[in-house]
Structure 1
C-alpha cells in the first residue's frame, strides 16, 4: 500500500509540474532576447549570435562569453544589439554593450539601452539535484526557425566536473590558467537536446521558473559512426551562482 501511495504522489507532482509549465513559459518569454549585430546596409540587417535573458535591474542581459567571442572588434557601421518581444509580440531592438565577461565560466553580462525589461528570478533556495525536472527557452539553430522563443524540457541527468579553456590562446589570463590548473567546477548535464542558437539561454526549474543555469555547449551529431568521438544530444548548463557573482561585480 505504501508503494501505491508513493506512486500516486509522484504522478501528482508530475501532473502539477506539467500544469505549471505553460504559465512559467508565458512569464519567461518576455525576458528572452536574441543577441547579434545590426548593420543598416547589410542583408540581412540583423545577424544572430546566440540567446540571452534579462536579469538584475532589467537593464542587463546574461549570455555566454563565446557568443560574443567574435564581436570584440565590430566592423564599422555595425553595432551590438538585442532583439526582444513585447507581450503583444512586437519586436523591439536595443543597443547593447559588454559590461563584464567571465571567460573561466563562459559567461557575460551586457548592458542594454532604454527602459528596463522584465527580468528572470535567479534560484537561490535549495540544492539542484540530479533527476530534477528543468526547461530552457531560446532560439535553436539561430534565426533559421524564426526569432520566436522555443522551449524544451528534460531533467538534469548529471552534475559533473568540467574545465572550460578559452577559445584561443589570446583569451588566456591568470585567472583562467589558475582555474584550469587547480581543477574544474561542476556543470549540469542535461538529457534534453539544445542547439547552437540556444547558447546563453536560461535553464530553469519547473516549480517556480527560477533560473538555475545558463545553457552553455552542445555536441551536435556528425554521423552515427562518430558517437564516441563526437557525442550528440548532450547539452550542458553553467550553474547560476557564477552569474550571480557577475551581477555583484556590476553592482559595485
Structure 2
C-alpha cells in the first residue's frame, strides 16, 4: 500500500513524542554524573552532612556552579579539623555518593551564583548552551534534590518550557555579600531571567536547567524568587520557578 503525504505526516506526529521522550532519557543519563549535592559536613552534628542545594559540574571538571545563597559562611574548617566544612556529594550510581571537599572560587551575589572548586578526580562537565539559542517555548528539564533529603538523595528530574524571558533585580542573599562588586551590579539595574512552567522546590536551588533535546545548560534554578516554607512549597506550590540565564554562568567562569 502506498502511503500518501497525509499518512506520513500522521505517522510522524505519532512518533515525534516517543522520539523526544527517548532523547530525554539519554540526556538525563548523561547529565546525572554531572549533578552534585552542595552542603556542609561537621563530624559533631547530627546528621553530620546537611544538604543545602544542588550544583553542576562545569569547565575542566573540577568546578561546580551553584547558587550563592546555598553557601554557608561559617564553613571555614579544613579537612581533618573540627568545625563545619563546605562539601559536595558526587553521584556514583543508585544510592552511591562520594563526599568531596569544596572551596569557594567566586560569588556573584547580585545574580545568586557561586563557583566552587572540588577536590579529587575531575568529573564530567555539562556543556553550556549559547545564550542566543534560548527562546520562550523551549523545552527544558532540570535535575535536583527537591525538599532537601526528605525524598532521599536521588536526582529528580522535572520537565517544562521556558514560559517567559523577563527582567528582575535580585537582592543579595545576605548583608555580608554586599561587597563593592555586588553593589555595582545592583546599581546597573534589572537583568533578564527565565520563568519556567515547571515547579521547583527547596533543594533544587543551584540545579542546572538544560535543553531537553541537547542536554546543554541554559540556566540555573534560583529559589530566591520563590517565597514560603518547605511546608507551603509542598501544600501550596506557586507554580513559578525562575532560572538565572547561562550568560551569567559563562561570565562567572571567565572571571575565575
1:65 aligns with 2:68: yes
Return 5+ residue gaps in structure 1 as ranges. none
1:22 aligns with 2:25: yes
Once the two structures are overlaid, the 10-residue window that deviates more, 213-222 or 99-108, is 213-222
1:97 aligns with 2:107: no
Residues 173-218 of structure 1: per-residue CA shift (max 9 Å, x gap): 3433343333211100000000010000000001110000000125
Residues 28-74 of structure 1: per-residue CA shift (max 9 Å, x gap): 11111111111122211101110011111110010000111xx1123
In the aligned structure 2, how far is the partner of 1:12 from the partner of 1:161? 37
**SS of the residue aligned with 1:144?**
coil
Q: State whether residues 131 and 245 of structure 2, in contact with CA within 8 Å, keep that contact through their aligned partners in structure 1.
A: no
In the aligned structure 2, how far is the partner of 1:204 from the partner of 1:185? 20
In the aligned structure 2, how far is the partner of 1:60 from the partner of 1:29? 16
Q: 2:52 maps to what in 1?
A: 49
**SS of the residue aligned with 2:249?**
helix
**SS of the residue aligned with 2:210?**
strand
Q: 1:148 maps to what in 2?
A: 154
Return 5+ residue gaps in structure 2 as ranges. 77-81
Q: State whether residues 30 and 86 of structure 1, in contact with CA within 8 Å, keep that contact through their aligned partners in structure 2.
A: yes
How far has the Cα of 1:91 moved from its partner?
1.1
Residues 70-112 of structure 1: per-residue CA shift (max 9 Å, x gap): x112375221110011246531110001011111111000001
1:80 aligns with 2:86: yes
Q: State whether residues 195 and 220 of structure 1, in contact with CA within 8 Å, keep that contact through their aligned partners in structure 2.
A: no
Q: State whether residues 89 and 100 of structure 2, in contact with CA within 8 Å, keep that contact through their aligned partners in structure 1.
A: yes
How far has the Cα of 1:15 moved from its partner?
3.5
Q: State whether residues 128 and 218 of structure 2, in contact with CA within 8 Å, keep that contact through their aligned partners in structure 1.
A: yes
TM-score (norm 2): 0.85
Q: 1:183 maps to what in 2?
A: 189
In the aligned structure 2, how far is the partner of 1:130 from the partner of 1:163? 20
In the aligned structure 1, how far is the partner of 2:92 from the partner of 2:251? 29
Kindly tell me: are residues 172 and 208 of structure 1, through their superposed partners in 2, closer, same or farther at Cα, counting changes over 3 Å?
same
TM-score (norm 1): 0.87
Once the two structures are overlaid, the 10-residue window that deviates more, 158-167 or 8-17, is 8-17
Q: 1:201 maps to what in 2?
A: 207
How far has the Cα of 1:12 moved from its partner?
5.0
Q: State whether residues 220 and 231 of structure 1, in contact with CA within 8 Å, keep that contact through their aligned partners in structure 2.
A: no
Kindly tell me: are residues 16 and 74 of structure 1, through their superposed partners in 2, closer, same or farther at Cα, counting changes over 3 Å?
same
**SS of the residue aligned with 1:15?**
helix
- Residues 108-119 of structure 1 mapped to structure 2, 5 A cutoff: 108-119=114-125
In the aligned structure 1, how far is the partner of 2:131 from the partner of 2:185? 26
